[in-house]
Structure 1
Amino acid sequence: MKGSPPVSNKHINYPKIGVISLAHTLNDLYSNYLPQLLPFLVVMTPGFTATRAAILISAFTITSSFTQPFFGYFLDRKGKRWLLYVGTLWMGSMLSLTGIVHNYGLLVTLAALAGLGTAVFHPQAATMVNDLSGNNKAVVLSGFVAFGNVGFALGPLLLIPLFQLYGLRATIVTVIPGIMVALLLLLFAPRNHVSPGTRPELSQVIYSLKSASRELIAIIGVIAVRSLAYTGMLTMLPLYFKSKDLSNIAASHLLTIMLFSGAIGGVLGGFISDRYGRKRLIVGSLIISSPLFFAFFYTRGTLSTIFLGLAGATLLSSFAVTVVAAQEAIPNNKALAAGLTMGFAGGIGGLAVILIGRIADIWGISSAVFVLFLLPIFAGLIGLLFLKSRPTSHSQRIAAA
């Protein structure tokens, strides 16, 4: 392949990974943008129900998720570095308009358009990080994901006070970080944007998918159920906290604790899975997560907050690991694997959030939250269908050094 030489498989390119990871922080802050609008929309918009809130979040989730495998296949063949910064700027621009529109249909349209920005960002960014991460792929990709989770965590911490002080018209200024990060990526994102190796033809991709179908179905099932739990919590917990007369600021602090803990859990999950296997980490962490969420639900005060942090850490500890597992299942189609896991599978879960919204409208927010807390156990049980655990052996690590 002509052009820049392929990245060494032995060395980690920390500077370029750092630039991409910083961009991931902003991208995922934007991805957690709409849930922060919900408490204000409920107050300011008559008839804004939990179902309408779920539809709004699902519109973003569908376009940001279901299109990712197609972008992934395209990127495996072509590689388009510019999609990183254009996608980020597009996303920020669409979301910055959401606070100044007064029509629900237009609001849903903006949400759907914004989703396309993250859809083009994630497959390209995850593939770049994979290629730059040497022989410590789960750990490094966990770090990349952790930066995204930090962005998710900063969403409520930064946006809710902004909207509280200046109202929803303040959304217009949130395009500024998108412009700055787009310029940073334009200047410093890696030039060797096509993965090393051959560019797969469609027939080769279909063969790879068929060969790894059982493994991929299990991975997609795990991610879909986990995504339903995660996206559902981001949608319903702000409404749940509001129903308990918790202030918007206090609610944002609790969400931040859960998401920051998830970022830490994701990095630890990468270390554990590289040593003891993907399957053990995925199954164990998800099954443990549900009891911790219920402990948060039924306790009060500091103890409740501690349980929420632990629950967030265990729920998200498998996030990057499932992406790596898919890339290992179809190693010649890394961007497609990232699109299937970070996009398509997550989109299935995100779409089902509408059902959670209906549960909230019919039986109450607490019932919807109760259902969400049960879901990680089911995701863990699906993980038992994985064919292999794939730990990196000690001898492999020595040989790679």
Structure 2
Amino acid sequence: MDSYTETEERQKPASSVQSEVIYQKTIYTILFTISFAHLLNDMMQSVIPAVYPIIKEKFNFSFTQIGIITLTYQFASSVLQPFIGFYTDKHPKPFSLSIGMSFTLVGLIVLSMASNFHTFLLAVTLVGIGSSVFHPESSKVAQLASGGRKGLAQSIFQVGGNFGSSLGPLLAALIVLPFGQPAIKWFTLAALLAILILLRVGRWYKAHLHIKPTARGNAQTEKANTFPRKKVIGSLIILFFLVFSKYFYMASMTSYFTFFLIEKFNVSVQHSQLYLFIFLAAVAVGTVAGGPLGDRFGRKYIIWFSILGTAPFALLMPHVGLWATIVLAVFVGLILSSAFSAILVYATDLVPGKVGMIAGLFFGLAFGMGGIASAFWGWLADKTNIEFVFNICAYLPLIGIITAFLPNIEGRRKYSAPNLQE
């Protein structure tokens, strides 16, 4: 019998006991609902890179302009996130989720009618703002509903976004390519559906704000994971470099994989979109495993495997034929995709009680790195060629070796929910 006695249990208010019981349960209905909202959100956002070949040809944009469009979108979706997360950690705003989605709705309407470079920049800025509002608060919802199984919850949440990202190119190939840029308006139906879903999630979130992630077992875990300030800062810097490695490489795939296939293998635009869908679908599938495996074996090992394990496949990809390229891209997607859930939950364990701020910081960092990388790779492709870009970026996963310097937070500990009746 530990210090948490039956007498203390009886003395606690009923609402407090109920809160801890609720917290210990993994609320799958909320997790899958917020994951589906993430799917819709990222599906709409993925329309932006999916239509790059169309607008490049239609408006005669250069690779540099394509990169600037991506940079603008990623900047809008990254800079605000840490500040929103920091603010909502102190002042939760459950209905900000649906308000953010309204920005995405307006952005898609503008995107469907854009006829010049500056209007495209306005459209992607609006979509980016919607993303920056969505991710910090929805990550908090996922952890609130996790029952302490944070890796599993983050993976369920993240896989929705990855499946959504993979659907964007497929739907672009089926809808936008045949019917043109105005067909982007059809995606506003998804935005409207997401707003309705997030209104319901917001009501649940508001009703459960009194539940704090400080149930006895969770508090012990957070206490065990406390490190000196210098160690925490050093670990966060390592995580930043790992995010840099992952998202600089991912930017080459999401923004320029279609151009690489078109230039090297002379495939059609429509086929290149389908191959991009295959890669992004592999990313979605790999995400499912990352969180639960991190809960089971320790997130450090999953981060290490995910980043460094991608290197052999990335290094081979620029030197093989079409079908081998697609197969290697699938392996890259499966392995690399497990990293972000593990990195995010690892970071929130390093800095307990700041889920919104850390989620906003790392989502923002991921989007920001992706935007900078897209602009850089576009500039480099204009100066050289796409094949050269893919040869250079293939070395980025080797940065994963620095994972060795991260402290081992969980080891091989299995999660087990605390028992209130002890």
Match of 1:312 among 326, 329, 333: 333
> Which structure 2 residues correspond to residues 115-126 of structure 1 after superposition, within 5 A?
115-126=128-139
Shift of 1:186: 1.1
Q: Larger Cα Rg: Structure 1 or Structure 2? A: 2
1:284–1:352 distance in 2 versus 1, CA, 3 Å:
same
The match for 2:358 is 337
> Which structure 2 residues correspond to residues 102-251 of structure 1 after superposition, within 5 A?
102-189=115-202, 190-192=204-206, 194=209, 196-197=211-212, 212-243=232-263, 244-251=265-272
Residues 283 and 383, structure 1, Cα contact 8 Å, conserved in 2: yes
Computed over aligned residues only, the root mean square deviation of the Cα atoms, in angstroms, reads 2.6
Q: Aligned pair 1:397/2:416, yes or no?
A: yes
Distance in 1 (alpha carbons) for counterparts of 2:124 and 2:82: 20
Which TM-score applies when normalising by structure 2? Answer: 0.86
Distance in 1 (alpha carbons) for counterparts of 2:113 and 2:393: 32
- Tell me the alpha carbon deviations over residues 151-201 of structure 1, each in whole angstroms, 9 at most, x when there is no partner: 000010011221211111112222111011211221344234648449xxx
1:96–1:238 distance in 2 versus 1, CA, 3 Å:
farther
The match for 1:15 is 29
1:294–1:161 distance in 2 versus 1, CA, 3 Å:
farther
Residues 97 and 198, structure 2, Cα contact 8 Å, conserved in 1: yes
**SS, match of residue 352 in structure 1:** helix
The match for 1:373 is 394
Residues 283 and 384, structure 1, Cα contact 8 Å, conserved in 2: yes
Which AA in structure 2 matches 1:37?
V
Equivalent residues, number? 391
Distance in 2 (alpha carbons) for counterparts of 1:208 and 1:347: 28
Q: Which consecutive residues of structure 1, in runs of 5 or more, have no partner in the other structure? A: 199-206
Shift of 1:304: 3.3
Which AA in structure 1 matches 2:413?
S
- Tell me the alpha carbon deviations over residues 43-102 of structure 1, each in whole angstroms, 9 at most, x when there is no partner: 1112x1111101101100011012110000011011111111121231132023213111
The match for 2:65 is 52
> Which structure 2 residues correspond to residues 33-52 of structure 1 after superposition, within 5 A?
33-46=47-60, 48-52=61-65
Q: Aligned pair 1:359/2:384, yes or no?
A: no
The match for 1:276 is 297
Calculate percent identity across the aligned residue pairs: 25
- Tell me the alpha carbon deviations over residues 26-56 of structure 1, each in whole angstroms, 9 at most, x when there is no partner: 111122121111100121112x111110110
Distance in 2 (alpha carbons) for counterparts of 1:75 and 1:135: 21
Distance in 2 (alpha carbons) for counterparts of 1:7 and 1:21: 23
Distance in 2 (alpha carbons) for counterparts of 1:364 and 1:352: 16
**SS, match of residue 115 in structure 2:** coil
The match for 2:10 is none
Deviating more after overlay: 6-15 vs 217-226:
6-15
Shift of 1:220: 1.8
The match for 1:324 is 345
Q: Which consecutive residues of structure 2, in runs of 5 or more, have no partner in the other structure? A: 1-12, 214-226
Match of 2:91 among 78, 90, 99: 78
Residues 107 and 126, structure 2, Cα contact 8 Å, conserved in 1: yes
Residues 11 and 132, structure 1, Cα contact 8 Å, conserved in 2: yes
- Tell me the alpha carbon deviations over residues 251-287 of structure 1, each in whole angstroms, 9 at most, x when there is no partner: 1221111111111211212222222211111112211
Shift of 1:391: 3.5
Distance in 2 (alpha carbons) for counterparts of 1:50 and 1:119: 25
1:333–1:24 distance in 2 versus 1, CA, 3 Å:
same
